[in-house]
Amino acid sequence: MNLGSTSFKFKLFEMDENERCLASGSVESIGAAGSCTVSAMGRKVKDACACANHTAALELCMNKLKAQGLDVHIASLDAVGYKAVHGGHISGAHPVNEELMREMERMTDFAPAHNPVYLSMMRSIQAKYPSLVQIACFETSFHASVPPERRVYGVPYEWIEKYGIRRYGFHGSSHSYIAWKMAQASPEARRVISVHLGGSCSLCAIRDGKSIASSMGATPQSGVFHNNRVGDLDVFCLPALACQLGGYENVMKLLAESSGLLGLSGVSNDMRQVAYAAAEGNAQAQLALDAFLDTVIGYIGMYTAYLGGVDAICFTGGIGTNSAELRKRAAERLTFIGAKADDALNSQGFEGKFSTSDSGVELWVLETNEELMVARGCMKMLQE
């Protein structure tokens, strides 16, 4: 399960040797008039709905699966897994219990848009379905292999131990899937940079299947700027902004909801709309596109240095898989590492390698599967 503040997404897996996805779906606009979409048994159904909370969304989706002929109900599940965001010192896949929820509560200031909604559902499920096993698979887990010198900020050391002020890294489910997929697709590519670009964006340097760097830091807000979140920002701007914009809380809200592509372009938080506006001559939209790409290229350069060279760069996420233009422009900026894109392959909208045969680095586009990695984490915990 993947929870947003007003959204619920899921995939239902039968974790046999084929790791079959039996169904998927989503509920939008939880807490108001919204919609529910469920795909199962070769059929996709979308209806209007009104769900008071995320537990109600889960129940609605399960009932719709039964109506479509899939013999499944909540009591028949072996477990529900959460693509949980921030667990502080808790990493990996863990059963949801009081200790885990207390640590998630402690880290709420680091993930205010994520942790509260997960905690609310965990407690609701615990109360309503006490025998149902709940497992939290934290997005920070894949980055446990990042070396110590790359996990710290230049802050008083006691802040690390007392307050958890360090780099954690996120999007672990996506980057770990890309690491696994690339090991299958191109086993000789030991040094990989995973470029997850979507509503939320991050890059990850991967050596021999393990993360050695992540662009996200203590919170998912940092690194490359996102659709409406700021990304990296000099913290010493905050006092001046707080004076001008009605206080610290209002500034933080603006940085989290009205920044990134939306704030810089002044057009939209949707890359497609920003690109359209830029093509129509909107200079501010063009600046947003240029700055977004420039930040991505900067991280690729940094991670090439960390890896001591790079064998493959893989684009994923909604923007990474759908924007052939962005991939083309990125390849043009990466000639310093010998990157050459096959424009015909790149524009075909397929999964696979789109670099030329004489490219100095492999260029790939792969659709991520974060839910599968959560399901695998759940299975590993259940089998322990």
All domains of the chain in start order, with CATH: 2-141+377-383 (3.30.420.40), 187-365 (3.30.420.40)
pTM as predicted: 0.95
Classify residue 144 by its DSSP letter. G
Crossing angle of the two packed helices 271-279 and 283-307, in degrees rounded to 10 = 120
**CB-based contacts of 21: which residues, under 8 Å, 6+ apart?**
11, 12, 13, 371, 372
Q: What is the pLDDT of residue 41?
A: 87
Question: First-to-last CA distance in the chain?
Answer: 22
Q: What is the pLDDT of residue 75?
A: 87
Q: What is the pLDDT of residue 197?
A: 97
Closest to 300 in 3D by CA, of 288, 290, 287, 312:
312
**CB-based contacts of 165: which residues, under 8 Å, 6+ apart?**
153, 155, 159, 218
Q: What is the pLDDT of residue 261?
A: 96
Question: Which stretches in the chain have pLDDT values below 50?
Answer: none
Q: What is the pLDDT of residue 65?
A: 94
Q: What is the pLDDT of residue 5?
A: 86
For 243-289, what is each residue's pLDDT tens digit?
999 999 999 999 999 999 999 999 999 999 999 999 999 999 999 99
Q: What is the pLDDT of residue 332?
A: 98
Burial class from Cβ neighbours inside 10 Å (0-12, 13-18, 19+) for residue 254 reads middle
Q: Which helix (H) or strand (E) holds 21?
A: strand 20-28
Distance between CA atoms of 118 and 142, rounded to whole angstroms?
Answer: 20
Q: What is the pLDDT of residue 384?
A: 82
